[in-house]
Chains A and B, each alone.
Chain A
């Protein structure tokens, strides 16, 4: 008999990650409103750096940490190596992010950014050790765990490049220009950390949520090797053979990997027994539609013939916004409604389920609010893309107001779940 959920860490380790991430999302959208003019200039500016790091570290990574601590013991059927490491990772990462965001916003490139990068690096190292040792303890590894462990390794490398860049701002010891390392940092972070992690976790969760009976795992394996080959090729060629101009080759390899993964998900979707998609899964599938915008903009960004300075800036911004505010945010919002109710439900009802009538995980949030959150998000996101394309600040401001409303609605549901009070009714007598 498997006892998967009993191997997960206590809820008080997992849930603070969700709380922190949802507040980070709200802060992100508010700062977006006050940074609207930054979207019509060069992407390397203090406000956009602040927004990107809040999106990536506070919103995306924080929620990944929390959900992974819950998911990994299930995937590996093995307890998390260290709950203490998980707690320390949360505190170091949270504090590091707050200091980093302050440093970028005020462009304090000295002590504060170095302190922030050290805190983040310590957190990333603790996280990596926790994931690797947990995987080593497992009796059997599978493709999902390989995705997750490799993603954790790329995550650590991304943060390591980040700490080097933070110190390089003051001491300028790196041999190449700062933007070169920024490209490595961003590409390894997006493809190595986010994409591999999303693929690893998604390939386990999505067929399960859809009740898909047969899916071809060979597609996953192919996606895994293509993605890693693309990232390693890009990194090695850029660092040692001055080949950053050949990035398009590695991009195509990574895109091929993404196509294999999307094909896997599509197969799961086609073979699903559960025909009605709930609001969490709807958001997840819209997120996968948005990834096509990311793929197109990433190719455009690398096609030299189309490159004018202004167009290149816009395409880079469209890519960044589509991946962080579009794809990752929508995916997180959707998967929050699939994972958080389950985690809260387990915490409140696991020991009493079967002794009376309990609410179901889906009863722990408001579906109506979640529907409005999705609609407003879609309008806000499209308006944001249009605002960037036509370089119109007022569109970006209206879009960010809509995204603030989205974040407020999302926070309402997260808070509703986190503050849920246990309620058990007796079973009806005739049953």
Chain B
């Protein structure tokens, strides 16, 4: 899944910085877990991230989103950011990157 515009340097930087955010239960970063659906950046609106969680009502939801806030505030202190949680499409293992699949022990 292409989640950012390859010509937008800020979006690329956001994508990379979100690799610091771990799902504490799984021990995998949220990018490799495929939780990030869309990153967009414009000068007017700042950073907008559309994301999901592996389970509805996940007890880690606020921990993950708090970590994202911390990382984004530290890396992009001058830029406002907004996190949008969505359940469409429902997360599934096809969103997991090859690195994430390896970490989860997935063979497909």
Partner of B57, one of A6, A77, A353: A77
Q: How far is A74 from B57 in the complex, measured between Cα atoms in Å?
A: 7
Instruction: Check A275–B104 contact: CB distance below 8 A.
Output: yes
One of A80-88, A203-211, A305-313, A380-388 at the interface: A203-211
**Is A415 at the interface (CB under 8 A from chain B)?**
no
User: A322 CB to closest chain B CB, in angstroms?
Assistant: 30
Whether, in the assembled complex, A213 has its beta carbon less than 8 Å from a beta carbon of chain B, the answer is yes
Query: 1/0 contact trace for B7-51 toward A, CB 8 Å?
Result: 000000000110111101111000000000000000000000000
Interface residue A276 (Cβ < 8 Å from any Cβ of B): yes
- Residues of A48-72 at the interface with B, using a CB-CB cut-off of 8 Å, are 71
B67 and A342 form a contact (CB under 8 A): no
- In Å, the complex CA distance between A91 and B77 comes to 47
A406-431 near B? 1/0 per residue, CB < 8 Å: 00000000000000000000010001
| Bound Cα distance from A266 to B105, whole angstroms | 19
Contacts of B104 in A (CB 8 A): 211, 273-276
A5 to B107, CA, bound (A): 32
CB distance from B75 to the nearest CB of A (A): 10
Query: B62–A354 contact, CB under 8 A?
Result: no
B16, B21, B63, B104: most-surrounded residue (chain A CB, <10 A): B63
Which of A273, A342, A346 has most chain B Cβ within 10 Å?
Answer: A273
User: A355 at the A/B interface (Cβ < 8 Å)?
Assistant: yes
Q: Which of A2, A71, A349, A431 has the most CB of B within 10 A?
A: A2
| Contact between B26 and A208, CB atoms less than 8 A apart | no
Task: Identify A208's interface contact among B58, B71, B83, B92, CB under 8 A.
Answer: B58
Contact of B21 among A211, A354, A361 (CB under 8 A): A354
Contact with A along B63-77 (1 / 0, CB 8 A): 101111111001000
Are A353 and B63 neighbours in the complex by a CB distance under 8 Å?
Answer: yes
- Contacts A1-B62, A3-B62 given; indicate if A275 touches B57 (C-beta within 8 A): no
The answer to the question of A345 belonging to the interface, with a C-beta cut-off of 8 Å to chain B, is: yes
- B45, chain A: closest CB distance, angstroms: 18
| Bound CA–CA A360/B106 (angstroms) | 21
Contacts of A3 in B (CB 8 A): 61-62
Give residues 127-171 of A contacting B (CB, 8 Å).
Answer: none
Categorize the interface residue count of chain A. 20 to 34
Chain B residues contacting A219 (CB-CB under 8 Å) are none
Q: Give min CB distance, B16 to chain A, whole Å.
A: 7
Contact yes or no, B70 A342, CB < 8 A: no
Minimal beta-carbon separation of A256 from chain B (angstroms): 28
Q: Cβ of A4 < 8 Å from any Cβ of B?
A: yes
Q: Is residue B85 within 8 Å, beta carbon to beta carbon, of the partner chain?
A: yes
Per-residue contact bits, chain A 1-17, to B (CB 8 Å; 1 contact, 0 not): 11111100000000000
In the complex formed, the residue of A with least CB distance to B68 is: A354
User: Which residues on the B side are within 8 Å of A209 (C-beta)?
Assistant: 25
In the bound assembly, the distance between CA atoms of A226 and B58 in angstroms comes to 28
Question: Provided the pairs A74-B59, A273-B104 are in contact, do residues A342 and B24 lie with their beta carbons within 8 angstroms?
Answer: yes
A213:B93 contact, CB within 8 angstroms? yes
The answer to whether B25 touches A342, judged by C-beta atoms less than 8 angstroms apart, is yes
Q: Are A5 and B57 in contact (CB under 8 A)?
A: no
* Residues of B bordering A, CB below 8 Å: 16-17, 19-22, 24-27, 54-55, 57-63, 65-71, 74, 83, 85, 90-93, 96, 104-107
Q: List 30 A-B contacts (CB under 8 A).
A: A1-B85, A2-B57, A2-B62, A5-B61, A5-B62, A74-B57, A75-B57, A208-B58, A211-B26, A211-B93, A213-B90, A273-B104, A274-B105, A275-B105, A276-B105, A342-B59, A346-B63, A349-B24, A350-B63, A350-B66, A353-B70, A354-B21, A354-B66, A354-B68, A354-B71, A360-B22, A360-B27, A362-B27, A431-B16, A431-B19
Having A74-B59, A275-B105, one finds 16 other A-B pairs with CB under 8 Å, namely: A1-B83, A2-B57, A2-B62, A3-B61, A208-B58, A208-B59, A213-B91, A213-B92, A273-B92, A273-B106, A274-B105, A345-B24, A349-B24, A353-B67, A360-B27, A431-B17
